[in-house]
Amino acid sequence: MTGPIDLARVRADFPILDESIHGKRLAYLDNAATTQKPDRVLRALDAYYRHQNANVHRAVHELAARATAAYESARERIAAWLNASRDEIVFTRGTTDAINLVARSFLGPRLSAGDEVLLTTMEHHSNIVPWQLAGAKTVAAPVNERGELDIDAWRAMLNGRTKLVAVGHISNALGTINPIAELIAEAHARGIPVLIDGAQAIAHESVDVRALDVDFYAASAHKFYGPTGFGFLYAKREHLEAMPPRDGGGDMIRTVAFDGSTWNDVPYKFEAGTPDISGAIGAAAALDYIGALGLAAIATHEHAVLDYATERMRSVPGLRLVGTAARKSGILSFVMDKAHPQDIGSVLDMAGVAIRTGHHCTMPLMARYGLSATARASLAVYNGTDDIDQLIDALRTVNRLFA
């Protein structure tokens, strides 16, 4: 597809959007949690299990050859999407697993007492807890009232104890798009490596790891219309070569003996055991789908819906948006004077509107705003102004019910 997004055609690609929820049309606005899957991905998964199902790298029969070719083709596709080399792409269970791998295999062996990882206040728990488990002290730069990173404060926090900078490309709770190119350059000027949590970005932003010169970039397939339980870590080859494996088992070894073992080449030394073969194939199909629509067209469409939603939500009495950064992706967190986020979510569900409520795995960020939770509507390519109208009607029902 070229040119502007044809919303009706896109929606026809997603069978689940035909579901009726409590007798109402489904307005799915929980895409920051997980996206729905297009026919292209569903067909790829079905074709694998019907015609290719076998283990990879371990047999010479035809099905194994088909499975291995499809699996490694997925690695090539992901590498090309990021402008990386195939041997710099490690398959993981998702963003969380990828960050834990870097924490244990890269950062952990380099830590001394008092060493720090510099974060931002808007980080997901998955970009906080793994560094703590590795033994690092986590420190976080502040965000302003609009949800934007205070870059001067962040810069001032870089010091001789900073062993890694880790930052989300896009905040899952606020939608803030962080200036990662600037942050990476600032950190590298001081010799500090950088990890970017890209979970919320791949379906919305172009990512060129070479141009960014980023050390690590992690993402999850289910955030970009692919299957759950699969993701990847991009890492510079020099880091992968120096890192010890985290997990032991089949496929990550070169030789095994009772007096010691040796490791496979990268990236395979980090991929112990039978992998999520179908997940890789589904992720590649999802990238093909995004590529066919065009990231630029997707961004234009989503930002138009975001602008419409922002204006309409500001017209709802007693509603306050949390996160109004100048550079923002399609995420709208909000609170209402008369209802708790959990109650908002329940009323919206009865109106066929799916949103997320809670702390969004960002407890430190919620504390910064003096909140325990927000309600969050998040956009994808299949959302339109009719979804927003349905949301607004339901929010007005919330005000009536809790008046």
247-289 tens-digit pLDDT: 999 999 999 999 999 999 999 999 999 999 999 999 999 999 9
Q: What pLDDT sits at residue 3?
A: 79
pLDDT tens string 154-186: 999 999 999 999 999 999 999 999 999 999 999
pLDDT tens string 283-327: 999 999 999 999 999 999 999 999 999 999 999 999 999 999 999
Q: Which of 151, 295, 316, 361 is catalytic?
A: 361
Q: What percent of the chain has pLDDT over 70?
A: 100
Q: What pLDDT sits at residue 2?
A: 58
- Reply yes or no on whether 361 is catalytic: yes
Distances in Å between the Cα of 72 and the Cα atoms of 75, 104, 241, 329 are 5, 26, 20, 32
Q: d(Cα 275, Cα 91) in Å, to the nearest integer?
A: 8
Contacts of 307 (CB under 8 A, 6+ apart): none
- Please provide residue 139's backbone torsions phi and psi, each rounded to the nearest 5 degrees: -125, 150
Which whole number is the average pLDDT over 187-193? 98
> Which domains, and CATH codes, for the chain?
7-30+294-398 (3.90.1150.10), 42-291 (3.40.640.10)
Which whole number is the average pLDDT over 232-237? 98
Q: What percent of the chain has pLDDT over 90?
A: 99
Contact 163, 192 (CB under 8 A): yes
What number of residues does the chain have? 403
Peptide bond before residue 267 is cis, with ω within 30 degrees of 0: yes
Instruction: Please name which of 356, 338, 337 lies closest in space to residue 346, comparing C-alpha atoms.
Output: 356
Q: d(Cα 328, Cα 176) in Å, to the nearest integer?
A: 5
Whether the pLDDT of residue 119 is over 70: the answer is yes
Q: d(Cα 394, Cα 372) in Å, to the nearest integer?
A: 22
Distances in Å between the Cα of 90 and the Cα atoms of 8, 96, 116, 256 are 36, 13, 25, 22
Q: What pLDDT sits at residue 403?
A: 85
Instruction: Please name which of 346, 313, 26, 348 lies closest in space to residue 175, comparing C-alpha atoms.
Output: 313
Q: What letters, b where the CB count within 10 A reaches 16 and e where it falls short, cover 174-201?
A: bbbbbebeebbebbeeeebbbbbbbbbb
Instruction: Please name which of 160, 71, 74, 178 lies closest in space to residue 122, comparing C-alpha atoms.
Output: 178
Instruction: Please name which of 167, 168, 148 lies closest in space to residue 158, comparing C-alpha atoms.
Output: 167
| Burial grade of 254 (CB within 10 A; 0-12, 13-18, 19 or more) | exposed
Strands 137-141 and 116-120: parallel
Distances in Å between the Cα of 80 and the Cα atoms of 73, 207, 306, 322, 378 are 11, 10, 29, 36, 27
Q: What letters, b where the CB count within 10 A reaches 16 and e where it falls short, cover 321-334?
A: bbbbbeebbbbbbb
Whether the pLDDT of residue 27 is over 90: the answer is yes
pLDDT tens string 53-90: 999 998 999 999 999 999 999 999 999 999 999 999 99
| Burial grade of 235 (CB within 10 A; 0-12, 13-18, 19 or more) | buried
Contact 323, 173 (CB under 8 A): yes
